Structure 1
Amino acid sequence: MARKGSGTAMPAPAMTLEVTVVSAEGVRVASGRPLCRGAYAVVHTASSSAPTRADADADCHGFPYWAEAVRVALPAGAPALDVEICCTRAGSGGRPAAEPVAAARVPVEDFTVGPPGHLHCLSYRLFDSGRSGVRRRNGIVNLTVRRIDGAPPAQGKAPPPPAGKAVDAAGPSGSGVSCCAAAAGLGKPAAPAGAVMGYPVGC
């Protein structure tokens, strides 16, 4: 039995997250063409997953836009959540089928700074879903994450954050303008995060 003050770490609690997948940039399908019609995003955790709507723009040229919030449960001790970009293709018998295109991993430490309800605006490098066995860079995904269990009641519904241009050099450099605007709409300070490096699903 560990004594009080012995330094034994307490297990991290389970969390309920609101993830707003804002947009993606420069995403290409396996053929090398820009991602166009039927693009949608799926947020995955070890215990749940939630998709956004499909972008209705049939000619988005690899820059789909959603600005849609989904809620997922993150189990205690989970190191990350995953964001996957997919598109809808005609499958066997003409039925629609999901085709994974690119994915990024979002480490827990990137969105757990600050109290519940704190808004974290992040951009991650996407990588090919890896059907060929080779992981290649494949655009950027822009999103916000906030923990909603234990958060104070919202004073009003904030407008969806605008899709800011993601920087090319990945690293935790200061918050962007779009993050500050979204955080201000919730009456909260901007999260200390900018563009950071994501990792392919499964790594």
Structure 2
Amino acid sequence: MANTHNRRLEVTVISGEDLRINDRPIKNNAFVTVKADSCCSPLSQDSTKPDAQGESYPYWDEKLHVELPAGSRYVIVEVRRRSSSAGDKLVGTAWILVSDFIGDYTPENYLHFLSYRLRDAKGLRNGIINISVRVVSLSYKGTSSSSSHPPPMVPVCRMPVDQENHGGTVTGVPVWYPNQWKA
């Protein structure tokens, strides 16, 4: 059964490494914007405050919250540098597959620590971004929900265990997800 409701992501932007503009290390004021790709609804995005002192190795440790519409395939992380004279300049972008933190056998509210290579506007390598991602459920104690609606019902599938004949082991059933291995 497909999940048709939106999810809320808690993305903690931890730090950046070796950030550059025009092959020169950035000096200050780097910030990060996180948004979900969406073909059917307006983009939800959130941004960190600029790091005033981190130079090309900024440290934010800021929690951002983004709505992830059903059907989204990517979360887009953009690192920019704020400048009073030239406006915001793109440092690099990382397109993170939603399957990197949703699915598999990880429980809801599991905290994923991830690092991604950033690419500049020309597609060249331009530093690394370190983040953590958690899919936040309404029942998670670390969040508050202004809605009085209960969380959506999710079907539970269980495998019976034959303790008498097989010593309590579970026989797994392989499951194939289409497009799982496409980049």
TM-score by length of 1: 0.62
CA contact (8 A) 2:10 2:136 kept: yes
The aligned counterpart of 1:181 is none
- Looking at secondary structure, tell me which structure has more strand per residue: 2
Report SS of the residue matched to 2:21.
coil
In the alignment, residue 141 of structure 1 is paired with which amino acid?
A: I
1:153 lines up with 2:141 in the alignment? yes
1:49 lines up with 2:40 in the alignment? no
- Of 74, 89, 93 in structure 2, the residue corresponding to residue 80 of structure 1 is 74
In the alignment, residue 69 of structure 2 is paired with which amino acid?
A: P
Q: Deviations over 1:102-148 (max 9, x none)?
A: 010111111114222110000001100x1xxx310011100000011
The aligned counterpart of 2:111 is 119
The aligned counterpart of 2:96 is 106
**CA 1:100–1:142 in 2, change beyond 3 Å: closer, same or farther?**
same
The aligned counterpart of 1:199 is none
The aligned counterpart of 2:8 is 16
Rg larger for: 2
Q: Distance in 1 between matches of 2:35 and 2:111?
A: 19
In the alignment, residue 24 of structure 1 is paired with which amino acid?
A: G
Query: Within 5 Å, which residues of 2 pair with 1:56-67?
Result: 56-57=52-53, 60-67=54-61
In the alignment, residue 131 of structure 2 is paired with which amino acid?
A: L
RMSD: 2.0
In the alignment, residue 50 of structure 1 is paired with which amino acid?
A: D
Q: Distance in 2 between matches of 1:115 and 1:102?
A: 31
Q: Distance in 1 between matches of 2:93 and 2:84?
A: 21
In the alignment, residue 44 of structure 2 is paired with which amino acid?
A: S
In the alignment, residue 79 of structure 2 is paired with which amino acid?
A: I
Q: Deviations over 1:126-180 (max 9, x none)?
A: 100x1xxx310011100000011244314xxxxxxxxxxxxxxxxxxxxxxxxxx
In the alignment, residue 34 of structure 1 is paired with which amino acid?
A: P
Q: Distance in 2 between matches of 1:61 and 1:55?
A: 8
Report SS of the residue matched to 2:25.
coil
In the alignment, residue 89 of structure 1 is paired with which amino acid?
A: S
User: Percent of aligned pairs with the same residue?
Assistant: 35
Number of residue-to-residue matches in the alignment: 137
Deviation at 1:12, TM superposition (A): 4.6
CA contact (8 A) 1:116 1:151 kept: no
TM-score by length of 2: 0.69
Structure 1: which 5+ runs fail to align? Answer: 1-8, 155-202
